[in-house]
Amino acid sequence: MRKTSLFLVVLFNTCLGTFAFGQQPARTHTSFNNAWRFHLGDVPNAQEVNMNDRGWRKLDLPHDWSIELPFDKDSPTGTGGGALRGGLGWYRKIFTMPTSARGKRVAITFDGIYCNSEVWINGRSLGKRPNGYISFQYELSEFLNYGNAINTIAVRVDNSQQPNSRWYSGSGIYRNVWLTVSDKTHITYNGVFITTPVVTDESAIVDARIIVQIPRGLKEMSANTTIYDAQGIKVAYQSSIVRPGPDEHTTFTHLLQVRKPRRWSNELPYLYRAVTRLSVNGKVLDEVSTGIGIRSFTFDIDKGFLLNGKKVKIRGVCMHHDLGCLGTAVDKSALRRQLQLLREMGCNGIRTSHNPPAPELLDLCDEMGFIVMNEAFDMWKKGKTKYDYSLDWDKWHKKDLVDFVERDRNHPSVFMWSVGNEVGEQWGEGNDSSGKKILRELVSIVKSTDPTRPTVTANNEVNPWSRLLNGNPADMIGYNYNHNSWDSVFYRWPRQPFIVTESVSSLTTRGHYDMPSDSIRRWPTRWDVPVQNANHDLTCSAYDNCSAPWGSTHEETLREFEKYDHISGMYIWTGFDYIGEPTPYPWPARSSYFGIIDLAGFPKDVYHMYQSAWTQKPVLHMFPHWNWKRGDEVDVWVYYNQADEVELFLNGKSYGRKRKSGDELHVMWRLPFEPGELKAVSWEKGVERLTRVTRTTSAPVKIILKQDNFTTGPDDLIFVRVSIVDNKGDVVPNADNLIQFDVEGATIAGVDNGSQSSLESFKGNKRKAYNGLSLVVLRPGKTSTGIKLKAISEGLSSSEIFFPTKR
């Protein structure tokens, strides 16, 4: 832990006024992503300055090399790791530093490198970090050349020891890299901690605790913190004199009052910004800006989660960190697309399973109003795979946990710290208390770094001899699955708030339907046996009638969840399909079936169940498609809301009206198939509300292209939905045509179709449709005046779409 000295400060004044941009900030924090060189494989002495890297590949970061590789049945990652190999790679970058930076503090920050990284500057090692999810910073100042002299930074990334993860991890410098230049007198890395200890309708107290590094010889300096509202209006100000103490690190506190505060909530996530400046004799030496949300919250044993005094049910999902065809290479526009889809479903919570997330995810959660369970570890000392983090636990867990909490503790979207997921230490023999000892240490570390948020662990089983829950050192009871045992949690541990840390594990494939739909399947029958009598095409039914043996269907779980007011919330496994863990199937399945939304970002049918239950948006969703064989008996499901009942018609003939009974979330008809038109009509008090029509399609005739995300900036990725349609414009539900993409003014960042067992590459310029749909992701060129995409498929009319650039 860093040693600090706490000093009293002399308070000057508090004033209000209008925000005005003044001189250039003393600190620069710029992207260091461009113009790297990469080599896959080991190269002796590749850290040396004079090493010849001209034959290496040129690229920009973030970069995940594993997603570029072919799927491999013999990959040591296994299908759990997506059947994509890891390996070892090198990155190098040559750059210059202006003479104006001499005497400054120059630092490089890596938001995440997977994994086992070592960084060199001009041949000197700066350090190693084994954890692939931790952000870290190295100071470069004393090793740099200035002016026209060349500097070389080299990074070795070793993801060759496999398996080291239960899901797809990706490989490389897969998150952003930043170069920060500041004065030697500066606010330390993650050295700002802002809380809102008192919040009322009339005012809020903002507590800003800042750690600064002051070189010897400086007698005193001025410090001030200004809070601006979302429009840039100054709403609070505090200044003080700070004097150095016996060591280089000094801590001071500013207490600011914001009158009539606008509170951050999941519905209206209002954000302020706090800017702290250090100066000597009027010259600004350093400046750090921190986004803040003013809110109060509590987890109550009886009432559940209260945000700003209002009861809020956390309706969340778990999310792994890959972005489908992009792999793990972080892109903010791709993250925004995911969160927007979840938001429209009615989701208001994210669990960062099972590792520290990209900072951009939390920025978006702040902006969009998600309630985040921020998770640190998937294992402690008892490992889950041969080469996982348990091997580094003793040496690194304390530093990693402190760095994780310090980085994320200013995010208003973060409401709890999870320090372990289904760890092996929850079980033990005899008087084994090692798990509780570890948990007690982890809770202590978190509380010393951030005392404002509760801690929790995600536990598998509720039993009287639980090594972690009995005398639980954490603040909350976290429980995964077993919805029929929730009553046991309340009975055995009634004195702590309860949250469902993970639930459901339903298995679905978009566009595939197994009948009869009222027959529940548990695939496989046990977690430790292969699946039997499943589908030869490696699919699972989209009816929501199939789950993993430890889980349940979405409807089974949601019906139970909504009964309990004192359950703070629930995080569903998972919001999106992800690469790896293809339960219940072996190779060639290579991505998961758990998502409410498929890997390409196309919602499955059950998405509309949540939307009907969790939003005020009028919903009438009927499925399946209507392309069957004569004589087939077909189960027709309908999710709906804001209506009393639904009537079903086939070719104009009514099959009656049905309404949900009790806590049911869908209605169903069983009909003999005949081609034609299936129509659902929802009725409320005898008045027609909504109508939905599904038709039997003819053969595919053309391609339709449509943008599938909202872009906010010139560098945002463009997601394009590709639909195969018949002569009436209806998507052909079993179309699997191969589509080739030609693009001008952009490059193709990835292609996908949502299939969980396709072995087509995520990279390239072609992709088959899967159940009528495909996806292509475009990366705008740096100087393009517009982007033109053309999609071609043999036997189909081609399609073009044009995107004007925003530069």
Q: Tell me what pLDDT residue 515 has.
A: 95
Is 20's pLDDT higher than 90?
no
Residues 427-444, mean pLDDT to the nearest whole number: 88
Least confident of 15-19, 35-39, 70-74: 15-19
Dihedral, CA of residue 332, residue 338, residue 344 and residue 346, to nearest 10: -110
Q: Above 60 in pLDDT, residue 428?
A: yes
Mean pLDDT of 143-160: 98
Residue 2 sits at the vertex; the CA angle it makes with 7 and 213, to the nearest 5 degrees, is 55
Cα–Cα distance for residue pair 307/803, rounded to 1 Å: 41
Give the type of residue at 269. P
Weakest-pLDDT range from 3-17, 543-557, 596-610: 3-17
Q: Residue 559 belongs to what H/E stretch?
A: helix 554-561
CA distances from 627 to 164, 510, 513, 639 (A): 44, 15, 12, 20
Q: Is the dihedral of CA 243, 247, 250, 251 positive or negative?
A: negative
Query: What is the rounded distance in angstroms from the CA atom of residue 486 to the CA atom of residue 478?
Result: 11
**Which DSSP helix (H) or strand (E) runs through 435?**
helix 434-449
Three-state secondary structure call for residue 114 = strand
Burial class (CB in 10 A: 0-12, 13-18, 19+), 795: exposed
The boundaries of every CATH 2.60.120.260 domain in the chain are 28-182
Q: Which helix (H) or strand (E) holds 109?
A: strand 105-110
The answer to whether the CB of 522 falls within 8 A of the CB of 614 is no
For strand 567-573 and strand 498-504, is the pairing parallel, antiparallel, or unpaired?
parallel
Do 793 and 778 contact (CB within 8 A), yes or no?
no
Terminal-residue alpha carbon distance, the chain = 45
The 8-class DSSP code of residue 142 comes to: G
- At 598-611, the pLDDT tens digits run 999 999 999 999 99
In the DSSP assignment, the letter for residue 299 is: E
> pLDDT band for position 461 (50/70/90)?
confident
The secondary structure of 685-744 as a DSSP string is TTEEEEEEEEE------EEEEEE-S---STT--EEEEEEEE-TTS-B-TT---EEEEEEE
Cis bond before residue 44 (omega within 30° of 0): no
* Tokens (6 digits) for 760: 């087509």
Instruction: Specify whether the CB–CB gap between 515 and 544 falls below 8 A.
Output: no
What CATH homologous superfamily does 28-182 map to? Galactose-binding domain-like (2.60.120.260)
Q: Where on the phi/psi map is residue 452: left (φ > 0), alpha (ψ -120 to 50), or beta?
A: alpha
> What is the predicted pLDDT for the residue at 31?
98
Q: Could you give the residue numbers annotated as active site?
A: 422, 502
Examine the pLDDT at 11 and tell me if it is beyond 50.
no
Count Cα neighbours of 117 within 13 Å in the Cβ-side half-sphere: 28
Q: CA-to-CA distance for 36 and 43, rounded, in angstroms?
A: 16
CA distance 477 to 468: 10
Separation of alpha carbons 754 and 752, rounded Å: 6
Q: What percent of the chain has pLDDT over 70?
A: 96
Q: Mean of the pLDDT values across residues 509-522?
A: 96
pLDDT at 400: 99
Q: If we measure between CA atoms, which residue out of 65, 176, 157, 164 comes closest to residue 114?
A: 157
pLDDT at residue 10 greater than cutoff 70 = no
pLDDT tens track for 277-320: 999 999 999 999 999 999 999 999 999 999 999 999 999 999 99
Please tell me the distance from the alpha carbon of residue 709 to that of residue 727, in angstroms, as a whole number. 26
Q: What is the dihedral of CA 595, 599, 600, 602, to 10 degrees?
A: -10
Count CB neighbours of 252 within 10 A. Answer: 21
> Looking at domain 5-27+184-292, what is its CATH homologous superfamily?
Immunoglobulins (2.60.40.10)
Nearest to 223 by CA among 286, 177, 273, 138: 286
Q: Where in the chain is the domain with CATH 3.20.20.80?
A: 297-506+551-593
At 648-677, the pLDDT tens digits run: 999 999 999 999 999 999 999 999 999 999
What share of the chain has pLDDT > 90, as a percent? 90
pLDDT at 175: 99
| Range(s) within the chain of domains with CATH label 2.60.40.10 | 5-27+184-292, 702-804
Residue 122: is it exposed, middle or buried by C-beta count within 10 angstroms (0-12/13-18/19+)? middle
Q: Are the CB atoms for 186 and 129 separated by under 8 Å?
A: no
Mean pLDDT over the full length of the chain: 95
**Closest by Cα among 601, 595, 573, 593 to 340:** 601
User: What Å distances lie between residue 147 and 69, 101, 138, 153, 178, CA to CA?
Assistant: 40, 9, 21, 16, 20
- How far, in Å, are 223, 251, 273, 373, 544 from residue 208 at the CA level? 12, 10, 12, 23, 48
Alpha-carbon distance of 335 to 372, in angstroms, equals 15
Given a cut of 60, whether residue 18 has pLDDT beyond it is: no
Question: What pLDDT does residue 16 have?
Answer: 34
Task: Output the pLDDT for position 24.
Answer: 53
- Residue 480: half-sphere exposure toward Cβ, Cα within 13 Å: 22
Is 713's pLDDT higher than 90? no
User: Which contiguous run of DSSP H or E holds residue 571?
Assistant: strand 567-573
Place of tokens 């970090």: 129
Q: According to the model, what pLDDT value does residue 782 have?
A: 85
pTM of the prediction? 0.95
Of 220, 269, 216, nearest to 242 (Cα)? 220
578-603 mean pLDDT: 99
- Architecture of the CATH domain 297-506+551-593: Alpha-Beta Barrel (3.20)
Please tell me the predicted confidence (pLDDT) of residue 25: 66
Class of domain 702-804: mainly beta
Token pair belonging to 781: 């060129």
Distance, in Å, from the CA atom of 333 to the CA atom of 355, rounded to the nearest integer, reads 21
Round to whole Å and give the CA distance between 731 and 725.
4
